[in-house]
A = this chain, B = another copy of it.
Amino acid sequence: MCQLLGMNCNTPTDVTFSFAGFAQRGGRTDHHADGWGIAFFEGAGVRQFVDVEPACDSGLAKFVRGYPIQSRNVISHIRKATVGEVRLENCHPFVRELWGRYWVFAHNGDLKDYAPHLHGHFHPVGSTDSEQAFCWLMQELAKSHASLPPVDELTRTLRELVPRVARHGTFNFLLSNGEALWAHASTKLCYIVRQHPFASAQLADEDLAIDFAQHTTPQDRVAVVATTPLTRNETWTTFAPGELRVFVDGAPLAG
């Protein structure tokens, strides 16, 4: 199974601590050695880094770990190839533009007998079921709204669309347009909100701890979503099967 990591914050935040532990899962502490990727929003722009090397060995991953990118929305993925070869175009996260915004998507799970009718303007470049599902979601969002709607309207539309994909298999995913982070769990996803008073955290996958109080202001709030808890000494909230949550400004919205 692949691994997902998402971050949504109320102020641009450095993701390197979470990414340091997460990247160990790409071939070292877990078996997901078939490429990885990370995408950061920076304003309306996106930086996307993808690689077919295992994340724990990749020169690019080492560079990202040391590069203090400040972002309010981050999605990362470590891939265990199940459908589609180990090729760059099959590495998540995927990026598309809709309504003059970039959309970033990463998926964990397998969709069986999944061949959506892609009659619109979004077509997969690679050969994964995941990119097909992303293109279908983009197509259906484009049909449902003439221009970018508010976050709660997008969430309502996604609540209608997502079950139509999820019935084909396991559909744990992260989706962001730079404003909000949507997270859906079929089987495995959890999250934590870090806010004042900040404590220290101990990475589960690497011998590394951080005292967030030294790196934050009392106003900062950060939500982190991951396949399994990234830290040992914090309490993560598990998603219920079929649950779709949306995070804005570092906190889950009600509903």
State the A residues within 8 Å of B (CB).
42-50, 59-60, 63, 67, 87-91, 95-102, 120-126, 142
Contacts and interface: CB of A to CB of B under 8 A. Distances in A.
Given A44-B89, A45-B87, A124 B96 contact: no
Contacts of A97: 96, 122-123, 125
Dominant secondary structure at the A interface:
mixed
B122 A47 contact: no
Given A59-B67, A100-B125, 15 more contacts: A44-B125, A44-B126, A45-B87, A45-B125, A46-B89, A47-B49, A47-B50, A47-B88, A48-B48, A95-B95, A96-B97, A97-B123, A98-B121, A120-B121, A121-B142
B88 A43 contact: yes
Given A50-B47, A96-B97, A88 B42 contact: yes
Contacts of A120: 121
